Amino acid sequence: YPRLSRMALDYLILSATSVAVERIFSRGRLLLSHIRNGLSGESVRALLCLGEWYRHGLLKDKHILEVTRDADEDADQI
């Protein structure tokens, strides 16, 4: 499972230098505008991971569309 192992490394590994961490922190600031400051830490972590996976080609548009379509269908059933 090469893609899964890469995702696990992105999520679980500690960076040896601060450069990558600072870059991700800066992306977090863009993600967390004053309007979106109510997101939980877990949601922010998930969004940052998804963004990195997408940027590295581990996540495709079709995957995102499938998940959002499934979520919309689940919401319609409620």
The string of pLDDT tens digits covering residues 35-78 is 566 778 788 788 888 888 888 888 888 888 888 887 777 777 76
Are 64 and 12 within 8 A, CB to CB? no
Closest C-alpha among 10, 19, 5, 16 to residue 49: 10
Total domains in the chain come to 1
Tell me what pLDDT residue 76 has. 73
What pLDDT is recorded for position 29?
Answer: 66
pTM score, whole prediction: 0.47
Is the predicted pLDDT of residue 15 greater than 60, yes or no?
A: no
Is the four-CA dihedral 37, 38, 41, 47 of positive or negative sign? negative
Q: Identify the domain containing residue 62 by its residue range.
A: 2-76
